[in-house]
Each structure stands twice: as C-alpha cells, then as structure tokens.
Amino acid sequence: MLLSHVFKVWSYSLLVKIQLMKKLDVRVEGGISSRIPDTSLHIVTLDYDNITDERLIEELRFLQEEFQIGNFIVLETRNEGRHAVCIDALRFKDVLEIIRFSSCDLMFKKAPMINEYRCWVLRYAKKGNRDAPKYLYTVESPYEGQNLQSRGHAKYLLKFGVKIDLKQPYGPEEIEIQEYNTGKRTNLEAN
Amino acid sequence: MDWMPDREFHPLFDRVSRRVNLKGAGSPAEINKRLTKKVKKEKEKIAMINEAIREGYAKAGPLSRWKKKIRSDIKDTRQLVFAGFGRRTIDEAIVRPRGRIALTLKYGRTKATDILLKRARERLGTLHLRRRKKRR
C-alpha cells in the first residue's frame, strides 16, 4: 500500500510517501541465475503462470522461429506453472527482447531491473509448500546449435535428467545461484 | 510495483548470490549436492566479526583503557582488531614495525614525531632539518 501527498511550501513541492509492505516470510533456498559467469551474456529463461501446454508450445516455437534460438527445456513448477529454459548464450538486450516479446509473467519481465545482480532467476528448490520444478518435455528447434551455448547451464540441466549435446559450448562449467525471500502467498495457494 | 525504486527491494528480498562449480559433476545427485550445499551468508559472517569485536570490548572494559593498553604493546595484532582499528593501520604496523604508524600506536602522536625527527637528524644532520626562515 502506498500513500503519497504533495505539500506546497512557498515555491517548493514536498512529496511525502508512506509505504506498507507485508513481510516476505518464505525463503527460497535456490534459484539459478540467467547470467553466464564472467561474461555479460545470458541464457533465455521464461516463467509462465497459468498457461496450458498447447499454448506454451505454440509460443515457444514461434519464439524459436522469430529469434532463431535453440531448444527450450520446459519444467513444471505446479499444475499450470511452467519454466522454459534455452541455453543459448545471447546478449542482454537480445534476451530482454525475447522475454518482452513473450507472454510470460509480467513481474518476471522486470526482474533484472529489480534484482541487484541484474539477471533473471528461476528457482530449482522448494518454495513454501510447492515442490521443486520437474522436467516435462523439450520443444525442439531447427536452430539448435546456431548460437553459442552455455556450458554451465547445460550441466545444470543434468539435474533434471536432461542431457544436451553442445554444438558450440561456451563459458565455464559454473553457474550462479541465488537465495531470496518471497511472499507467503505461495503457502496459501498450495494449501 | 512500478512505483517502488529498485534499491528498496534489496533488504526485503535479501538476495544472496554465489557461484557453483559443476566441473566433474556427472550425475543429478552430484549436481544436487553441490547446489544445495549451504554457504554462510555474507551477513552472517559480518555478524560473527561484530560479535568477536564486541566480546573483545567486553573483556577489556572501558574503551580508552583498552586502547591505552594496546599502545603499550602492539605485538599482539589480534588486540588491535578487537579494539576496532582499521585493517590498513594494522597491516602497516606489521609491515613497518619502526614506521610512523607503529610508533604512533605505541607512543602516541607527539612522541612518535619526536622519535622520527631524532632519527632523521641522526641520518641527515641537524642543519638539513631546520625550517628555513621566511624571506620578506
């Protein structure tokens, strides 16, 4: 909740803002960063809430055609929540364009502007009562291997049992992870 | 949340970032193990250091007495850390035990300057160290 008021003092305007926010009680123990360590390149990560698989596959195929990017790995976060990961190493502005072009979660689109580490984060650990994401399927692309591919993120996807044959491996076999707080809403939804 | 400036999110979300090396991890179990390995947060580390400093004060009693005591003996650099001296000061005192900082810690500013001047006179001769008279 935000309250704001402007007071006029002689020729000056004094803007007073009072803001109330609920405490973020749930600690997410792990989320993967989109950034490739030691570089300014990012992989494409998309976070969808309430979307059907048919619609998602159509969109991902369209994105692959439009931006000529590789395979998307789709993970299930809850009933109709999905994460999509493409390990192509792209410039920040390209990734931003792809994410803005997509119909993913609106807050996710703004994530690097809010996050002090300037990256998108997808969780891999439990969140409140929600389980860790699970692998669902791969949306294959004719442009697979056309761009550089992050070595570290490919290795990370082994966690879900997804083995990727890299055609243009790039970067170290390292990834950046983040821990962060999130709201209690997730607890209520799961119950 | 458009109306909220970025920096106000930081303490709310309390994000901690770290790097994980996945080299040599060939199985999902091994990757899981590396990803879930807990590393102490920066904030926890800072809290631990602060606690150590506080304990040091508690042992020593009043701060002034503590600092005076340290001046008399700077061999134990741990005491300097507890007394809240800067890291660079301590390093300098260790690297140059006969230098300005080490002497200042031990004897105080005035006496340290005297010692340094005396040493310089011995080295260069008195005349060189006399201040020149101002020309009118």
Strand B16-21 with A174-182, pairing: antiparallel
Domain with A162 in it: 23-190
**Single-letter amino acid code for the residue at A36:** I
Selecting from A125, A158, A172 the residue whose C-beta is nearest the C-beta of B31 gives A158
Residue at A165 is within a domain: yes
Residue at A68 is within a domain: yes
Q: Quick one: pLDDT at residue A36?
A: 94
Residue at A14 is within a domain: no
Stronger pLDDT, B6 or B23, i.e. the higher one: B23
Q: CB distance from A131 to chain B under 8 Å?
A: no
How many folded domains does chain A comprise? Answer: 1
Q: Of A42, A111, A126, give the one whose Cα is nearest residue A78.
A: A126
Residue with tokens 């803001």: A19
pTM of the predicted protein model = 0.65
- Distance from the first to the final alpha carbon of chain A: 26
Question: A36-45, B23-32, B60-69, B120-129: lowest mean pLDDT where?
Answer: B60-69
Choose from B6, B7, B31, B42 for mutation: most chain A CBs within 10 A: B31
The SS3 of residue A184 is coil
User: What separation in angstroms does the CA of B110 have from each of A82, B77, B105, B122?
Assistant: 71, 22, 11, 19
Tokens representing residue A67 in the block: 């931006």
User: Are B4 and A19 a contacting pair at CB < 8 A?
Assistant: yes
Residue with tokens 């060189």: B128
Residue at A9 is within a domain: no
User: Are B22 and A174 a contacting pair at CB < 8 A?
Assistant: yes
Check whether B130 has a pLDDT greater than 60.
Answer: no
Strand A169-170 with A149-150, pairing: parallel
Which residue in chain B is spatially nearest to A3 when comparing CA positions? B3
Stronger pLDDT, A75 or B78, i.e. the higher one: A75
Q: Where are the domains of chain B?
A: 42-129
pLDDT band at B76 (very low <50, low <70, confident <90, very high): low
**B27 interaction partners in chain A (CB closer than 8 Å):** 158
Residue at A50 is within a domain: yes
How far is A176 from A34, CA to CA, in rounded Å? 8
Nearest chain A Cα distance for residue B40, angstroms? 12
Rg (CA), chain B: 26
> Is A73 in contact with A135 (CB distance < 8 Å)?
yes
Q: CB distance from B31 to chain A under 8 Å?
A: yes
Q: Of A27, A182, A176, A116, give the one whose Cα is nearest residue B17.
A: A176
Mean pLDDT over B107-132 rounds to 76
User: Are B23 and A174 a contacting pair at CB < 8 A?
Assistant: yes
How far is B80 from B84, CA to CA, in rounded Å? 6
Tokens representing residue B32 in the block: 């899981």
Which residue in chain A is spatially nearest to B38 when comparing CA positions? A29
Q: Quick one: pLDDT at residue B26?
A: 84
**A172 interaction partners in chain B (CB closer than 8 Å):** 21
The SS3 of residue B115 is helix
Residue at A111 is within a domain: yes
Q: CB distance from A19 to chain B under 8 Å?
A: yes
User: Average per-residue pLDDT in chain A?
Assistant: 89
